[in-house]
Amino acid sequence: MENFEIRNRKISSLYFDLAIDRVEENDMYMAAFFLKKSLIYNKKNIDSRNLLGLIYYKLGDIVEALVQWIISKSYRERDNLATVYMNEVQNDNTTQDKYNAIKLYNLALDNIHIGRNDLAMMQLIKGLNLNPNHFKSLALLSLLQLNIKDYIKAGSNLLRAQKLDSGNFQVNKLMNYTMANTKKSEVKEKKLKNVYSIKKLEEDDAILSKRYIKLTTNQKIIFILLGLSIGIMSYQTIVLPMMGNRFKSEATNDIIKYADLVNEQNKTLRDLTIENAQLKSDYDSASIRLKAYEEQNRLFTSQYETLNEIITLFDEGYISRAARAYIELDKDSITDETLLILLNNAKSRIEGIGATRLTELGTESWNAGNKTQAIAYYQLSLSINPNDPETMFLLARLYQSLGRNADANPLFDKVIAEHPNSNYSKRSREARGY
């Protein structure tokens, strides 16, 4: 086997390991992503292909699963779990229902594209009666329900979808939107992890999903066996076996032949040791690159979720929370093009209308007699836009009204110094008694 073939096998196995980690977190979206990567490096990675088929099967895409298992069997006819899975599908008396659910989903999608949303909804509901675990149907139905502002039903279907795949970005985004639109008073801000509690669905409640590991016993056994077999394969390719020769001990000629053989073996062993070191170095290098990739992917996911949350919170009117999340975000660490677009969206909201709105909220609170809240709003607005003369002036006046001249005067002075031509500069001078 060529060096690059050995390398590709190793990288393929490493991606498979990453996929297993994702499966254990019920993140089928990223697991499928890693498995497809694994197959790019080695199309004959039977374990990756079979597992990808299992993921498709779990999400209700039976035909996609069959495609993977059939290809898997074409590479290895015997001792292949794909045979077991395909027999399961054949013997399952709900398989025809699952095919029909797929058909109804496709019909619904066609109807949505021509504007017949009500008909699409009925088709999806019918499809979900046939296969309650068709992920795409759950996601699409919840989108239609959100479109008509039926947040309760949408939340219920999104929760069911998240139980099948907790990592799908679109479903998670729709769930965030649903949560923001329900009247539940405590929706916690979490930047890195989702913390949910499961409650019985009632009016005015948002359903929050909970991540949990859910593998059947058979699947656990299968994954353990797969892991063992990959471990053994990896060991055999990294630590090459010593080659020993049997030789006879006879007369002097045999002794000479023996000496020659030993010399030859020593040479082979040297060559193999060097090659082994090279392979190990390649393996370590690929492992480091994959770990860096995984870390980058985690960072990307976390940044994406945060930006998404900021935009959603802002659009739903939770200006303070959106602003706080925006201020706390490490913007310099965002380099991905897609994320930069999202960042610009967030920035235009928060630094544009957001800061102004926070100042307005401060003034409303002050007028209502809640000066503490007013100070908080003004300070938050200045955190976003530190040079706004109006907000500085208002905050300074508020401090002044509370007798906090030590806090007020620097602000007045700043307005005067930095905005000499503004109306607030004149008013600041008056307030200072100049």
Partner 1 sequence: MIDFDEEKKKFRKSLEIDELNDALANCDITDMDDIMIDIIKQFTGNKNSGKF
Whole-angstrom distance, CA of residue 113 vs CA of residue 326: 36
**Could you tell me the smallest distance in angstroms from the CB atom of residue 109 to partner 1?**
6
CB 176 within 8 A of CB 184: no
**Could you tell me the smallest distance in angstroms from the CB atom of residue 76 to partner 1?**
14
Whole-angstrom distance, CA of residue 59 vs CA of residue 168: 11
343-349 contacts at long range (C-beta below 8 A, 24 or more positions apart): 343/307, 345/307, 345/311, 346/307, 346/310, 346/311, 346/314, 346/322, 349/310, 349/311, 349/314, 349/315, 349/322
Applying CB under 8 A, among 113, 200, 246, 248 the residue interacting with partner 1 is 113
Applying CB under 8 A, among 34, 105, 151, 378 the residue interacting with partner 1 is 105
- Based on its alpha-carbon atoms, the radius of gyration of the chain, rounded to whole angstroms, reads 32
- Does 106 bind partner 1 (CB under 8 A)? Our answer is yes
Q: Residue 12 carries which side chain, given as an amino acid letter? A: S
**Could you tell me the smallest distance in angstroms from the CB atom of residue 111 to partner 1?**
11
Applying CB under 8 A, among 18, 51, 54, 112 the residue interacting with partner 1 is 112
Applying CB under 8 A, among 15, 16, 29, 41 the residue interacting with partner 1 is 41
Whole-angstrom distance, CA of residue 287 vs CA of residue 110: 44
- Does 293 bind partner 1 (CB under 8 A)? Our answer is no
Q: Which of residues 156-195 bind partner 1 (CB under 8 A)?
A: 170, 173-174, 177
Give the nearer residue to partner 1 in terms of CB position, either 175 or 431.
175
Residue 356 CB coordination number (10 Å)? 17
Q: Taking CB under 8 A as the rule, which mask of x and - marks residues 124-163 in contact with partner 1? A: ------------x--xx--x--xx----------------
* DSSP character at residue 304: H
Nearest to 146 by CA among 183, 113, 169, 171: 171
**Could you tell me the smallest distance in angstroms from the CB atom of residue 2 to partner 1?**
8
Q: How many residues bind partner 1 (CB under 8 A)?
A: 38
Q: Which of residues 43-102 bind partner 1 (CB under 8 A)?
A: 43-44, 60-64, 66-67, 70-71, 99, 102
CA distances from 102 to 93, 113, 132, 344 (A): 16, 17, 11, 38
Give the nearer residue to partner 1 in terms of CB position, either 22 or 49.
49
Three-state DSSP at 335 gives coil
Instruction: Extract the tokens encoding 323.
Output: 């602003």
Give the nearer residue to partner 1 in terms of CB position, either 60 or 389.
60
**Could you tell me the smallest distance in angstroms from the CB atom of residue 147 to partner 1?**
5
- Is the CA virtual torsion 248, 249, 254, 258 positive or negative? positive
User: Which DSSP string corresponds to 11-31?
Assistant: HHHHHHHHHHHHHHTT-HHHH
Applying CB under 8 A, among 14, 31, 39, 161 the residue interacting with partner 1 is 39
Give the nearer residue to partner 1 in terms of CB position, either 109 or 376.
109
- Does 338 bind partner 1 (CB under 8 A)? Our answer is no
- Does 103 bind partner 1 (CB under 8 A)? Our answer is yes
Give me the residues that bind partner 1 (CB under 8 A), please.
2, 4-5, 8, 39-44, 60-64, 66-67, 70-71, 99, 102-103, 105-106, 109, 112-113, 136, 139-140, 143, 146-147, 170, 173-174, 177, 315
